[in-house]
Amino acid sequence: MTNIGLECRDVTVSFGALKAIDEFSHQFKTGRIYGLIGPNGAGKTTLLNVLAGRLAQNKGAVLCNGADISAMPAHERARAGIGRSFQITKIYPEMTVAENLRIAAQIKHSRFLPFWNATRYDRRLQQDIEAMLELTGLAPHCNEIAGTMSYGLQRALELGVTLLPQPTILLLDEPLAGIGHHEIASATRLIRSAAEGRTVLLIEHNMDAVMSLSEEIVVMSNGRKIACGAPQAIQSDQTVRSVYLGEETAA
């Protein structure tokens, strides 16, 4: 069995004359958190869109657990184990936390468990809901209406809904954006727990958080991978520093 959860081979995406992603290749190992960083317009979100199947690459290939998924649409990629969490768009704000998780559990089990075995079906749903309430720390809020909770708790619920089908690959687009200062530590802890045993790609503009969460940093600029390595090495890399410094000077 391969320990490469996700692989990009020469992925290229063009919007007209602009190459948003330019021959990007990388192997993302299972059980690791990868921070994807780079200045505005570097191609980070476009890459996540390609991996999630929201956007087709013009060239190159994407492999998930060794299988070529380049031509797979988004809903099939979700079944193949790719989960993406980016905003609180997956939750129903007028429903409680438990109801939101129940819907995600129903979707997961509808394909495998017969509805007519109601007791077994309900037990499995309940087990999944309880496991996710525990993982996300949302048990004390299980009967709260999702839309009335703090933004940080809503993001935690969104992550819970994403994790419920047990994806092997987790794509996180700015998971800390909009979260209050006092909730950053708990959100960071949750991302660490969620990452266990998975391949995680994380786009995050909070540099302290991305450097402490990630085991490997991949740096993009103008659609290309310009560096990769351990957070400490990346922080002292001259090319990377000049890319960011250049941006700061221009701002």
Ligand X SMILES: Nc1ncnc2c1ncn2[C@@H]1O[C@H](COP(=O)(O)OP(=O)(O)OP(=O)(O)O)[C@@H](O)[C@H]1O
Tell me if 44 contacts ligand X by CB under 6 A. yes
Q: Does 42 bind ligand X (CB under 6 A)?
A: yes
Q: Rule CB under 6 A: is residue 231 a binding residue for ligand X?
A: no
Of the ranges 38-46, 116-124, 155-163, 206-214, which one interacts with ligand X (CB under 6 A)? 38-46
Indicate which single residue of 40, 89, 143, 236 sits in contact with ligand X (rule: CB under 6 A). Answer: 40
Size of the site for ligand X (CB under 6 A): 11
Q: 4, 27, 30, 41: which one contacts ligand X (CB under 6 A)?
A: 41
**Judged by CB under 6 A, does residue 15 bind ligand X?**
yes
The amino acid at 175: P
198 is an interface residue for ligand X by CB under 6 A: no
**Of 42-50, 87-95, 111-119, 228-236: span binding ligand X (CB under 6 A):** 42-50
Q: Which residues contact 69 (CB under 8 A, 6 or more apart)?
A: 53, 62, 63, 76, 77, 80, 82
List 35, 43, 53, 81, residue binding ligand X (CB under 6 A): 43
DSSP state of 89: G
Nearer to ligand X, 39 or 231 (CB): 39
Does 56 engage in binding with ligand X (CB under 6 A)?
no
Q: Does 17 bind ligand X (CB under 6 A)?
A: no
- 163 token code pair: 């994790």
Buried b (16+ CB within 10 A) or exposed e, 134-171: ebbbbeebeeeebeebeebbbbbbbbbbbbbbebbbbb
165 lines the binding site for ligand X (CB under 6 A): no
- Applying CB under 6 A, does 238 fall inside the site for ligand X? no
Token pair belonging to 89 = 């768009």
String of DSSP letters for 136-186: HT-GGGTTSBGGGS-HHHHHHHHHHHHHTT--SEEEEESTTTT--GGGHHH
Choices 13-21, 90-98, 146-154, 175-183 (CB under 6 A): range interacting with ligand X = 13-21
Surface-to-core class of residue 17, CB atoms within 10 Å of its CB (0-12 exposed, 13-18 middle, 19+ buried): exposed
**Distance between CA atoms of residues 109 and 119, nearest Å:** 13
Question: Does 35 contact ligand X by CB under 6 A?
Answer: no
223, 22 contact by CB (below 8 A):
yes
Nearest residue (CB) to ligand X, 18 versus 71: 18
Closest approach, Cβ 246 to ligand X, in A, equals: 15
Pick the binder of ligand X from 6, 24, 35, 46 (CB under 6 A).
46
Q: Give the side-chain half-sphere CA count within 13 A for 137.
A: 16
List residues near ligand X by CB under 6 A. Answer: 15, 18, 20, 38, 40-46
